[in-house]
């Protein structure tokens, strides 16, 4: 495929910029089929699921635990602060 891209680049120098525009469109599409991109997509998907859980669901679950009694809703803010601090320190 790389040889095809190089051939198209040479032809685009001869014919003008119309082929360069199509090459600009098709090169990223070709890269999405590579193995490295698919692995990164998988990791990004799972990271997004984890962040969604901790940002949205976990605080609500802590707030609805009956074991904490009447103070359960006050733990939602503390939980959010600790999760945010962990995200900043972890990066």
Q: Are residues 47 and 90 in the same domain?
A: yes
Distance CA 61, CA 33 (A): 39
14-46 confidence digits (pLDDT tens): 555 566 667 777 777 777 777 788 888 888 888
Range of the domain at 9: 1-33
Is the residue at 13 inside a domain?
Answer: yes
Q: Are residues 47 and 89 in the same domain?
A: yes
Note whether 53 and 45 are within 8 A (CB): no
For a pLDDT cut of 70, what percent of the chain falls above it? 75
Is the residue at 38 inside a domain?
Answer: no
Q: What is the mean pLDDT of the chain?
A: 77
For a pLDDT cut of 90, what percent of the chain falls above it? 1
Q: Are residues 48 and 16 in the same domain?
A: no
Q: Are residues 24 and 50 in the same domain?
A: no
Q: Are residues 25 and 4 in the same domain?
A: yes
| Spatial CA neighbour of 60 closest among 81, 75, 82 | 75
Better pLDDT: 74 or 22: 74
Question: Residue 75, Cα to own-chain centre: how many angstroms?
Answer: 29
Is the residue at 19 inside a domain?
Answer: yes
Note whether 69 and 57 are within 8 A (CB): no
């Amino acid at each position: 495929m790389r040889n095809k891209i190089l051939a198209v680049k040479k032809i685009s120098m001869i014919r003008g910029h119309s082929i360069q525009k199509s090459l600009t469109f098709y090169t990223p599409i070709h890269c999405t089929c590579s193995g490295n991109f698919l692995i990164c997509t998988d990791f990004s998907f799972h990271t997004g699921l984890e962040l969604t859980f901790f940002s949205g669901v976990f605080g609500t679950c802590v707030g609805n635990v009956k074991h904490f009694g009447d103070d359960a809703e006050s733990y939602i803010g503390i939980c959010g602060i600790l999760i945010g601090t962990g995200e900043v320190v972890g990066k």
